[in-house]
């Protein structure tokens, strides 16, 4: 009986330590209103500018790293990715990103944010609004955080007018991802919002969505053929790392150097 009790205690302790090792550092993003988009852009999908109001939320201080994602891979029994553990995980599909969010929620005894149904042809995800777990940011949450939220100084890039101060692009990256947090943070203390890894958002992508967007806590179109990703990556030219720039990839794409920045409700 003593041996059994000891083993149970050891297992519980191990689970607590494992959860602590997989608890990302989050920053409170105070809710508010901002003008989303850019009427001066040559890209029609950034127009028109429109007012968006968001509730407060927490966002990951850093992008999810290879080391953090590797813990999920070990748990799921899938191949461990190669690379420096402090470099952001990239070339990750949107589907794997939402599964990682659910796994991390479970590890930390939180509610899963996504109901996932899949078969050989479909991967259907429903967002559970009442859940308190980890999730991907909406596109509006991502841009609001990138521009600095209530502390915004209206920089072109996330934290500066000079991209080299805050981001990794084709000009300064040496064609590789860099450890998270090596550049200056933005006004909210978020790192690498411009460049390094592209970052998946929850929303479906449509190029004319801004003309139809809801004002309060928009979740994007109800359907689409690709998912929004933001921030650009280390192989992008500097001018496309602007805070307003939109990208999109198919949800099962394992290319584009896309990764994860986590969000939780307040």
Three-state SS for 5?
helix
Whole-model pTM over 0.85:
yes
Distance, CA of 239 to CA of 230 (rounded, Å): 14
pLDDT tens, 3-41? 334 333 333 334 444 455 679 999 999 999 999 999 999
174 compared with 17, residue with greater pLDDT: 174
pLDDT score recorded for residue 200: 98
pLDDT tens, 93-111? 999 999 999 999 999 999 9
Give yes or no for a contact between 132 and 111, defined as CB atoms under 8 angstroms apart: yes
86 φψ region: left (φ > 0), alpha (ψ -120 to 50), beta (else): alpha
Among residues 138, 114, 156, 155, which one has the least CA distance to residue 53?
Answer: 138
* Domains identified in the chain and CATH numbers: 2-265 (3.90.1580.10)
pLDDT score recorded for residue 21: 61
Give the torsion sign (CA, 137, 138, 141, 147): positive
Instruction: For residue 261, name the pLDDT band (cuts at 50, 70, 90).
Output: very high
Q: Is the pLDDT of residue 63 over 60?
A: yes
| Mean predicted lDDT score pLDDT of the chain | 92
**How much of the chain exceeds pLDDT 90, in percent?**
89
Q: Is the pLDDT of residue 184 over 50?
A: yes
């Amino acid at each position: 009986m003593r041996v059994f009790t000891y083993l149970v205690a050891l297992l519980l302790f191990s689970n607590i330590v494992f959860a602590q090792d997989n608890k990302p550092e989050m920053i409170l993003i105070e809710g508010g209103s901002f003008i989303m988009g850019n009427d001066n852009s040559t890209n029609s999908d950034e127009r028109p500018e429109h007012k968006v109001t968001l509730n407060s939320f927490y966002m990951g201080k850093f992008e999810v790293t290879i080391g953090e994602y590797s813990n999920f891979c070990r748990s799921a029994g899938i191949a461990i990715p190669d690379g420096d553990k402090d470099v952001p995980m990239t070339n990750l599909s949107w589907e794997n990103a939402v599964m990682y969010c659910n796994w991390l929620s479970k590890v930390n005894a939180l509610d899963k944010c996504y109901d996932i149904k899949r078969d050989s042809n479909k991967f259907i995800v429903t967002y559970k609004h009442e859940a308190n777990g980890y999730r991907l940011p909406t596109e509006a949450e991502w841009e609001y955080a990138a521009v600095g939220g209530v502390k915004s100084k209206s920089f072109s890039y996330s934290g500066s007018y000079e991209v080299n101060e805050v981001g990794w692009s084709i000009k300064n990256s040496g064609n590789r991802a860099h450890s998270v947090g090596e550049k200056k943070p933005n006004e909210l203390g978020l790192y690498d919002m411009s460049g390094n890894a592209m970052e998946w958002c929850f929303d479906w992508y449509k190029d004319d969505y801004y003309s139809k967007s809801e004002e309060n806590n928009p979740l994007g179109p109800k359907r689409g053929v690709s998912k929004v990703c933001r921030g650009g990556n280390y192989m992008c030219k500097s001018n496309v790392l602007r805070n307003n720039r939109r990208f999109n990839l198919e949800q099962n794409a394992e290319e584009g150097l896309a990764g994860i920045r986590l969000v939780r409700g307040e």
